[in-house]
A = this chain, B = another copy of it.
Amino acid sequence: MRLTTKGRYAVTAMLDLALHKSQGPISLSDISSRQAISLSYLEQLFSKLRKSELVSSVRGPGGGYELKRGSDEIYIAQIIDAVDESVDTTKCQGAGDCQGGETCLTHYLWEDLSEQIHAFLESISLADLVAKNEVKKIADNQDRRQIIVTEMSAALAL
């Protein structure tokens, strides 16, 4: 699991789609001006998002991109995985003397942590983020923290 600006751009753009899904296909230039992301970079990102079946494209005038599924069926982890193809984090895949040795121990500890974050992001949908934003406007910080706890717990109970 990697968490970089590329993934943030992708999630931001997908959020923009979710917020405007009632308006039919959204062109990338709309997203570009609204979210301050360069058009060409968006094009690259959406190429990957399309290959991952997260969005569908409509060409020609009035065209653009739409969420392929409902915003409650698209999870943050899927978006990040789509644009941020993960390299192998182990680095010691059968590389000689690292068979359950100490080296693999620490690698495994990190991977486990990474898995937990991934599981968390797999449990949050675009709709969740949008919905939480509504709540946030009223709730103060303490209430918000409580919401986070509830969500995280619920998320991992599966």
The interface of chain A, by Cβ under 8 A from chain B, is 1-5, 8, 11-12, 15-16, 19, 34-36, 76, 89, 91-92, 95, 98, 102-103, 105-110, 112-114, 116-117, 119-121, 124, 129-130, 132-133, 136, 145, 148-149, 152-153, 156-158
Contact = CB atoms under 8 A, between A and B. Distances in A.
A34 B130 contact: no
A35 B110 CA distance: 12
B157 A102 contact: no
Nearest to A91: B36
Given A112-B136, A113-B76, A117-B117, A106 B153 contact: no
9 contacts: A8-B110, A11-B113, A16-B106, A35-B106, A105-B133, A113-B121, A117-B117, A145-B156, A145-B158
Contacts of A145: 156, 158
B103 A113 contact: no
